[in-house]
A and B are shown apart, each in its own frame.
Chain A
Amino acid sequence: EIVMTQSPATLSVSPGERATLSCRASQSISSNLAWYQQKPGQAPRLLIYGASTRATGIPARFSGSGSGTEFTLTISSLQSEDFAVYYCQQSHNWLLITFGQGTRLEIK
């Protein structure tokens, strides 16, 4: 099983500032990584796929980077609606898809 480890568990950032979230895979997954945003009481929403491609309708302030085992989600200028929980997910092995444990992005 490919283990996905996200850090930090909680990130406190002020509106307008940049947020950087990390995700590490226990083995190389090439660029087979997606990022999701989940707000309380809502289903997850796809933000980034293929490690760096924004999904349809996702604002340009969201960007993804990385390959192999190290990945980053950057939100360039935090808006109030961006405070949520973020998950990474690997699909390198379709027989065993795994999610990271999540990073909670909270208002500082």
Chain B
Amino acid sequence: EVQLVQSRAEVKKPGESLKISCKGSEYSFTNYYIGWVRQMPGKGLEWMGIIYPGDSDTRYSPAFQGQVTLSADKSINTAYLQWSSLRASDTAMYYCARLRAQGDFDYWGQGTLVTVSS
């Protein structure tokens, strides 16, 4: 069965850097975009961007352009979301999900909770 397994929860201080991961299995990882979605506490879903592990083609939501970096290592079927300098407002649950050609996200990771607090 297709699985996306995300890295564990993180607690960081403002200004610190962070890279979280999403490892895919049981499907051809290089043939599907991986999307990242933010969910702030008690709020809805926000699309951050997508990356195609096959060639690292990346598209960002304007709201997140310049704020985060998406990357992927196809040799280990893993996508990444990283911040160079965290803010308290980055506190949220972050999900990765597989994007199908139909434009929907059919498989989701379990989520990584990022808490940024001094």
Contact = CB atoms under 8 A, between A and B. Distances in A.
Given A34-B105, A91-B104, A94-B59, A99 B110 contact: no
A49 interface: yes
B108 A44 contact: yes
Interface of B: 35, 37, 44-47, 50, 59, 61-62, 95, 97, 100, 102-106, 108-111
A93 B59 CA distance: 12
Interface residues of A, number: 26
A68 interface: no
A15 B1 CA distance: 32
27 contacts: A1-B62, A32-B103, A34-B104, A34-B105, A36-B105, A43-B109, A43-B110, A43-B111, A44-B37, A44-B105, A44-B108, A45-B108, A46-B106, A49-B104, A50-B102, A55-B104, A89-B104, A96-B47, A96-B61, A96-B62, A97-B50, A97-B61, A99-B37, A99-B44, A99-B45, A99-B46, A101-B44
Interface of A: 1, 32, 34, 36, 38, 43-46, 49-50, 55, 87, 89-92, 94-102
B106 A44 contact: no
B22 to A, nearest CB: 12
A45 B104 CA distance: 11
